[in-house]
Chain A
Amino acid sequence: MANMSPIKVKIPEQEPTVRNKNFKEVALGYTDEMAVEEATRCLQCKNAPCVKGCPVNVQIPKFIKKITERDFDGAYEIIAETNSLPAVCGRVCPQESQCEGLCVRGIKNEPVGIGRLERFAADYKMQKNDKPIPEIKTNGIKVAVIGAGPAGLTCAGDLAKLGYSVTIFEAFHVPGGVLMYGIPEFRLPKKIVSTEIESLKKMGVEIKTNSVIGKLFSVDELFEDDFKAVFIGSGAGLPSFMKIEGENLNGVYSSNEFLTRINLMKAYQFPKFDTPVLIGKNVAVVGGGNVAMDAARCAKRLGAENVYIIYRRSEEEMPARTEEVHHAKEEEIEFKLLTNPVRILGDEKGSVTGMECIQMELGEPDASGRRRPVPKKGSEYIIDLDTVVIAIGQSPNPLIRTTTPGLETQKWGGIVADEQTGATSRPGVFAGGDAVTGAATVILAMGAGKAAAKAMDEYIKSL
């Protein structure tokens, strides 16, 4: 008989007023006992609806069963069969709209804490430090992966397991992509990312950092260099701005710049690390996605007294995960909803002093199916600010598409790729992740990397 508790076993967390002053991880993870107790809430459904919600097809009931048997190694092995970054996914996947969203227990009560259990198994294995290196029979065929983010790492891992000699080209000085520069330490400790990357290297994957494809080598030159297939997982790195007055004032950052300074360059440890970031007392983050939540929570941790989320729709339409919104609120981030920036104000030195905003109301549904926000006439008001972070989205970087003749792209810059295989308009060139979809999630990128690895294997075998 399953444990019929209506709610998930609570995961220990740092207290909000403590954690909003440090960069240590918010959630501390289950103990063995907590994990076993939560695992017994799983009904072990034969048709396993949860698995259908997982972009990488993790065999969820099977691994949870192993946890109930206290066979944590066994649980890990089942996850690792299909998921190359379990410690990452357990933390940053939007489980509520994927596996947990389909959990039968979730119909009446809280679903099984699948993400928490995945994280538990992955952390258990990482702490034991005895992750097995799969035995690989190498075939010596060279394949290239562009970008060492979630899509590229997954694709590289799967190709390496199939025996290919994989080289990842990464533009930054460290691999990891958005896992390193975007998602903050308190949500995803960087040590976890680097441990996962180390295990890829042990499998024989070569990672060339400081290699900007499109500048240092073109995709065509990779083929000339005897790479038989190329996967493009270059992400959505191009920040969008609002094109309003005052956006170039000192103190206005794109979320990319703000988060990269903090996460990748470790500006929160300035001057121990050389890259600075300026915060001030009052910070506004414009946008309602996970990136906006991350930026706001970083600003609070860096000592800002008042941190506002400025979002033009209502909370219901917010694209951020419920958990992130909840955490942000706990950490005293103030939400100014149905509010849209009109212009940013500055002083004579060119530094931000405030932002004029206008209140919005919801009208008829728009193309996205969400009710369109419309400005309320005469409702303009000014917020005093020192820093503004623009977190309204990113689009794919043009460096690769402008240097790869024959590579078809969408009007907005995304690479055109087959949904099932990642195949592009160029034979042998595959693509996946945010470079194809525009800014989405880590797990969707991983799913795309996985599908492409399989298709690349088939393509090379057909040559």
Chain B
Amino acid sequence: MYKIVKKEILNPTVTLMQVFAPDIAKKALAGQFIILRVNENGERIPLTIADYDRDRGIITIIFQIVGKTTKLLNELNVGDSILDFVGPLGIASHIDGYKKVAVIGGGLGTAIAYPQAKALYKSGCEVHLIAGFRNSELIILEKELHEVSNKTLIMTDDGSNGNKGFVTNALGQLIEEGNEYDLVVAIGPLVMMRAVCNLTKEYNIKTIVSMNPVMIDGTGMCGGCRLTVGGETKFACVDGPDFDGHLVDFDEAIRRSAMFKREEHDSYEEFCNLLNMEVQNDG
């Protein structure tokens, strides 16, 4: 059992949790992930490690409530425990040797972009951070993002924070202004990462993306997380989760991400109905 030592609601659908997992914290590196299971009947879901504290033995995860498992997870509070918590899985991000990097986070992806930006910034690299959200209410980690970047641009789709536009608009502008990046890191929804890659291809800037497909074991056993990179099949769990974005077959990844959509939806609906019934009964 892995105890929750801190819980913070970042926005109405995104929660941060700090979990006591000292062995994992000892080894964790930016870009790696954990797999967790909330209860005995639960599924295994991968979540990227958002931060770690080796001294205190803590792993930080940030998740969006999108289905039954994340909703169940969000029901837990400080002092409660998560049943299973495995990691650190995947290959850590390679961050050495870069001078100027644009790190892009989209929505929840910002939580995953953050540790990468932090690692790059700490390594002495100049970091420009672009984070995009649907509206100003959904902005997360604003203060933290400023702390790990030389320049921070927070964009909203609807302009409700006074900065309307997509992350690609912001990146395009920065490039046109003469910023010469030797790397772009893009983490967020598949369509966003695809759009960023299409843009950086034009400018021939190396782009790394972080893939987060459905997986079960996270150790290379099931192959459920496979994707095509440069014409070859790769497993996101052991070959990634970071890949060269210019080589990833995003169209296939988008199709595969929808494989269990109906089952996930039904399971979530049923769970929400159950919760509502409980609330009514309690009332």
8 A Cβ contacts from A227-267 to B: 237-239, 241, 243, 247-248, 250-251, 253-254, 256-257, 260-261, 265-266
Residues on B with beta carbons closer than 8 Å to the beta carbon of A254: 222-224
Interface string of A140-177 (1 = CB under 8 A from B): 00000000000000000000000000000001110000
Q: Are A276 and B223 in contact (CB under 8 A)?
A: no
Q: Are A260 and B267 in contact (CB under 8 A)?
A: no
Q: Are A216 and B23 in contact (CB under 8 A)?
A: yes
A172 vs B259: C-alpha distance when bound (angstroms): 24
Which of A173, A256, A273, A397 gathers most chain B CB within 10 Å?
A: A173
Interface string of A273-302 (1 = CB under 8 A from B): 111101000000000000000000000000
Minimal Cβ-Cβ distance residue in B for A238: B220
Stretch touching chain A among B80-88, B121-129, B165-173, B181-189:
B80-88
The reply to whether the CB of B227 lies closer than 8 angstroms to some CB of chain A is yes
**A272-B41, A274-B267 are contacts. A397–B220 as well, Cβ < 8 Å?**
yes
Distance between B131 CB and nearest chain A CB, rounded to angstroms: 29
Minimal Cβ-Cβ distance residue in B for A273: B41
**A265-B43, A349-B255 are contacts. A210–B84 as well, Cβ < 8 Å?**
yes
8 A Cβ contacts from B231-246 to A: 233, 238
Minimal Cβ-Cβ distance residue in A for B215: A257
8 A Cβ contacts from B82-119 to A: 83-89
Which of A251, A253, A274 gathers most chain B CB within 10 Å?
A: A274
Q: Are A278 and B233 in contact (CB under 8 A)?
A: no
Distance between A233 CB and nearest chain B CB, rounded to angstroms: 15
Interface residue count for A (Cβ, 8 Å)? 40
Q: Are A257 and B223 in contact (CB under 8 A)?
A: yes
Q: Are A173 and B256 in contact (CB under 8 A)?
A: no
**A247-B233, A256-B222 are contacts. A212–B258 as well, Cβ < 8 Å?**
no
The reply to whether the CB of B264 lies closer than 8 angstroms to some CB of chain A is yes
A278 vs B263: C-alpha distance when bound (angstroms): 9
The reply to whether the CB of A425 lies closer than 8 angstroms to some CB of chain B is no
8 A Cβ contacts from B203-240 to A: 216-217, 219-224, 226-228, 233, 238
Q: Are A239 and B42 in contact (CB under 8 A)?
A: no
Residues on A with beta carbons closer than 8 Å to the beta carbon of B263: 270-271, 276, 278
A195 vs B5: C-alpha distance when bound (angstroms): 34
The reply to whether the CB of B252 lies closer than 8 angstroms to some CB of chain A is yes
Q: Are B216 and A217 in contact (CB under 8 A)?
A: no
Residues on B with beta carbons closer than 8 Å to the beta carbon of A253: 223-224
Residues on A with beta carbons closer than 8 Å to the beta carbon of B24: 216
The reply to whether the CB of A421 lies closer than 8 angstroms to some CB of chain B is no
| A positions within 8 Å CB-CB of B | 171-173, 209-212, 215-217, 237-239, 241, 243, 247-248, 250-251, 253-254, 256-257, 260-261, 265-266, 270-276, 278, 349-350, 397-399
| B positions within 8 Å CB-CB of A | 23-24, 27, 37, 41-44, 68-69, 83-89, 216-217, 219-224, 226-228, 233, 238, 252, 255-256, 258-260, 263-264, 266-267, 270
